[in-house]
Amino acid sequence: MYFCSIYKRIMAAKIRIKDIALRAAVSVGTVDRVLHNRPNVSKVAREKVEQALKEMDYQPNMYASALAYNKSYTFYLLIPQHEFEAYWEEIEEGAKRAIEIRRDFYLELKIFNYERSDEQSFLQVAAKCIEQQPDGVIVVPSTLEVTRQFTDQLHEQKIPFVMLDSYMPDLNPLSFFGQDSFRSGYFSARVLMLIANKEKEIAIMKRIKGGKVSTKQQANREVGFRHYMYDHFPEINILEMEVPMAATRKEYDEIIEHFFELHPEVHHCITFGSKAHIVGDYLLRKNRRDIQIMGYDMVEKNAKCLQQGSISFLIAQHAYQQGYSCIETLFRAIVLKKKVEPVNYMPIELLAKENMDFYRRTQL
């Protein structure tokens, strides 16, 4: 049976359009139109071709068809501005690597950067993207309503888009890559309480602009975190340390110092973004060994604090793989005309001082 199956696949790969036309008793042109789902084929002729395809166990070579078509495709990546931040850099590197691997298909990647805390910046970049009529888009979203203004235009113009980092199902993306933020927050609480279960108070550090955190993902992580705490440690008081999105080191130091002076019983802190090093760096410079913070993402400054003990744990999420997979999904959907998975949750990985050196991006 095994060798029979292999033989059938080999023979199916050698089937020509001419062979199908002879089997179905129709013209070569009719077969071509059916295979490419083009109009002007009668119901009878279509049924004959489809029956012949079934009898011959025909499997189309989508890669060969796409190469023969000789069309170029431009994908756009809308991503926050960043300077030496490993998370966003690795997303870009993963996307570029996927483009390089598929270079025979004439793929091109263009990267647009916007200021994540500035909704107008996102809209300006989105408008430029629409003007250039991309074949597909990867978008790290702004707020829901602002992002909707962009994605509604993409839907109107039938431009497929993949969402990265923050999932907004109401916007109907082709696909999503990122963590399940609620589960991630729930998991982070469980891990934190392995070392903080005897505490009376713990703190959440929030970077705030306009009275709220910058991303839906961070907000959902906090919801998951609080659900775990409510279920398992309702007696522990959860405090909030609010710091501005943009501040100097001196300003951060003053806020952090004032908070810990007011709350001397707080020894554990968590943040749901990649800036745990704001507190971690303060603790190292002040030689505070009685307090630790937990956070997200293996950015360089976080790694230093994790190594030196001011950050207890980091949760990582394979940024390189996310960037790569987004391009691969657009390629499969747009170029190969294949179905893709609508939701793709990334691993929730826990990093500590002892295993951080073994964490590497996935080279795909």
Residue 151 located in a structural domain: yes
Report CA-CA distances (Å) from 183 to 127, 144, 188, 221, 346: 34, 20, 8, 7, 11
Into how many domains does the chain fold?
Answer: 3
Confidence of residue 232 (pLDDT cuts 50, 70, 90): very high
Q: Which of 114-123, 152-161, 218-227 has the lowest mean pLDDT?
A: 114-123
Distance of CA 203 to the CA centre of its chain: 28
Confidence of residue 294 (pLDDT cuts 50, 70, 90): very high
The CATH number of the domain holding residue 271 is: 3.40.50.2300
The CATH number of the domain holding residue 49 is: 1.10.260.40
The partner residues of 164 in beta bridges, in order of sequence, read: 177
Query: Looking at the structure, do residues 195 and 147 belong to the same domain, yes or no?
Result: no
Query: Looking at the structure, do residues 208 and 255 belong to the same domain, yes or no?
Result: yes
Which pLDDT does position 4 carry in this prediction?
46
Query: Looking at the structure, do residues 199 and 268 belong to the same domain, yes or no?
Result: yes
> pTM of the full predicted structure?
0.77
pLDDT at 69 over 70: no
Average pLDDT over residues 259-275: 95
Residue 361 located in a structural domain: no
Residue 291 located in a structural domain: yes
- Beta strands 268-270 and 292-296 are parallel
Residue 211 located in a structural domain: yes
Which pLDDT does position 3 carry in this prediction?
40
Residue 195 located in a structural domain: yes
Q: How far apart are CA 27 and CA 194, in angstroms?
A: 71
pLDDT at 295 over 90: yes
Residue 358 located in a structural domain: no
Residue 66 located in a structural domain: no
Residue 10 corresponds to which tokens in the numbers above?
């080999």
- At 216, the amino acid letter reads K
Confidence of residue 73 (pLDDT cuts 50, 70, 90): very high
**pLDDT tens-place string over residues 308-330:** 999 999 999 888 899 999 999 99
Say if residue 84 is exposed, middle or buried (CB neighbours under 10 Å; 0-12, 13-18, 19+). Answer: exposed
Query: Looking at the structure, do residues 39 and 55 belong to the same domain, yes or no?
Result: yes
Q: Which of 86-90, 121-125, 153-157, 301-305 has the lowest mean pLDDT?
A: 86-90
86 vs 82, higher pLDDT: 82
Query: Looking at the structure, do residues 262 and 283 belong to the same domain, yes or no?
Result: yes
Q: Which of 65-74, 93-102, 195-204, 283-292 has the lowest mean pLDDT?
A: 65-74
Query: Looking at the structure, do residues 25 and 83 belong to the same domain, yes or no?
Result: no
Q: Which structural domain range is residue 301 located in?
A: 181-316
Q: How far apart are CA 108 and CA 76, in angstroms?
A: 8
Query: Looking at the structure, do residues 217 and 278 belong to the same domain, yes or no?
Result: yes
pLDDT at 220 over 80: yes
In 266-358, the DSSP E strands lie at 268-270, 292-296, 311-316, 343-345, 349-351
Residue 120 located in a structural domain: yes
Confidence of residue 74 (pLDDT cuts 50, 70, 90): very high
Average pLDDT over residues 356-360: 80
Query: Looking at the structure, do residues 311 and 221 belong to the same domain, yes or no?
Result: yes
Which pLDDT does position 360 carry in this prediction?
62
Query: Looking at the structure, do residues 80 and 164 belong to the same domain, yes or no?
Result: yes
Query: Looking at the structure, do residues 261 and 341 belong to the same domain, yes or no?
Result: no
Which pLDDT does position 9 carry in this prediction?
45
3 state DSSP class of 136: strand
Half-sphere exposure of 284 (CA within 13 A, CB side): 19
Query: Looking at the structure, do residues 112 and 218 belong to the same domain, yes or no?
Result: no
pLDDT more than 90, % of the chain: 63
Query: Looking at the structure, do residues 206 and 274 belong to the same domain, yes or no?
Result: yes
